[in-house]
Amino acid sequence: MNNTATNQESHYGNISAIQVDAKSGSYPFRYPAVANTREHVLSILEGKDYPILPIRGYEVETVVDVGANVGAFTTYMAVHFNAAKYFCFEPSLGAVTFLRENIAQFPNAQVFPFGLYSEDTSMLLYEGASQSLQNSLYSS
């Protein structure tokens, strides 16, 4: 992975980019360059947070990413399981902008710009003080 900072700005401030290399190609991944977002994104994309377990005879067919944020987990899974279908749910419009861009190179991935809950309702989403990883249904 190559990390390249840019001077572009987003809702969350400056934007950084990483090039994710995989057998199926090389994919750009952009994220807000705020607080410790870079460390979290790298930890996911490098397989530290969600290591792939080799299970003989098992093939991933469907991935549901609830709280997909900017799409690091979906990108990580899609470079390993390109044929799977991906359903990404994210209620933060700022994060959805990055999510859509980051997973656009994976035709089997869909973005749903809302959260999932135990009932059909509308709720207030509180933005994190310094980054979208802190967004929550609860004020803090």
Q: What is the pLDDT of residues 13-34, one digit of tens each?
A: 688 899 998 877 888 999 988 8
pLDDT bin (cut points 50, 70, 90) of residue 5 is very low
Mean pLDDT over 92-107 rounds to 93
Residue 99 in contact with residue 88, Cβ under 8 Å? Answer: yes
Residues in contact with 27: Cβ distance below 8 Å, sequence separation at least 6, in sequence order: 19, 20, 21, 75, 79, 105
Structure tokens at 110: 């869909």
Q: To which residue do tokens 């656009």 refer? A: 104
Taking phi first (over 0 means left), then psi (-120 to 50 degrees means alpha), and beta for anything else, what does residue 3 get?
A: beta
Range of lowest pLDDT (12-26, 68-82, 119-133): 119-133
Tens digit of each residue's pLDDT (9 = 90 or more) over 37-46: 889 999 999 9
pLDDT at 2 over 60: no
